[in-house]
Chain A
């Protein structure tokens, strides 16, 4: 069965403290892996799409990487505005269905 697991569930970071969020996935074949951020009470906001192992994408303080079994979202020198829940999702080949993980809640400690 296709599955997505995110860890840790929650993360607290201080200024200057970088970290990585993990997304492990199990699919028969990967069509795409997606990262979103979600603020409380709002809809998810698209960050990145990764398609094949070895691919990397960057946006400001965020960098997403992909291997055959997992993806990492690296956050460098986080700022208060980076506090959010980060969601990972996959789409398997042969289907248009999306499977989301339960997310990592990131909180910036001033």
Chain B
């Protein structure tokens, strides 16, 4: 158990819908990362937050948005869902968000878009 929690574990929805994935970092960690893992593209870095502020942006679609709240939990919002958005979404956390940190990954949310 990494100490990072993600809810829900599974999510099944239809094309065109909007969903919210939630992540609670390890106690004391200030930085949160979001990743998407699909069979054909591997693990893709989406976005990083540090203490409520966006720090880095990767291959995140405009239909996706995220934020980190004052209590440090984070939410990833996915809208106008397409079949290709079906994937495992991981959240990770680290102490200060630098390369010397260890990232601890959560168990993931499996999103299925029908």
Do the two chains belong together in a single complex? yes
B84 at the interface (CB under 8 A from A): no
Band of interface residues on B: 20 to 34
Looking across the interface, which residue of chain B has its beta carbon closest to that of A96? B56
Residue contact B42 to A96, C-beta cutoff 8 Å? no
Task: Given A43-B92, A44-B90, check contact A96 B104 (CB 8 Å).
Answer: no
Contacts of B90 in A (CB 8 A): 43-44
Contacts of A49 in B (CB 8 A): 99-100, 102
Residue contact B100 to A44, C-beta cutoff 8 Å? no
B44 at the interface (CB under 8 A from A): yes
Residue contact A95 to B106, C-beta cutoff 8 Å? no
Looking across the interface, which residue of chain A has its beta carbon closest to that of B50? A96
Looking across the interface, which residue of chain A has its beta carbon closest to that of B88? A41
Looking across the interface, which residue of chain A has its beta carbon closest to that of B44? A100
Contact with B along A68-106 (1 / 0, CB 8 A): 000000000000000000010101000111111111000
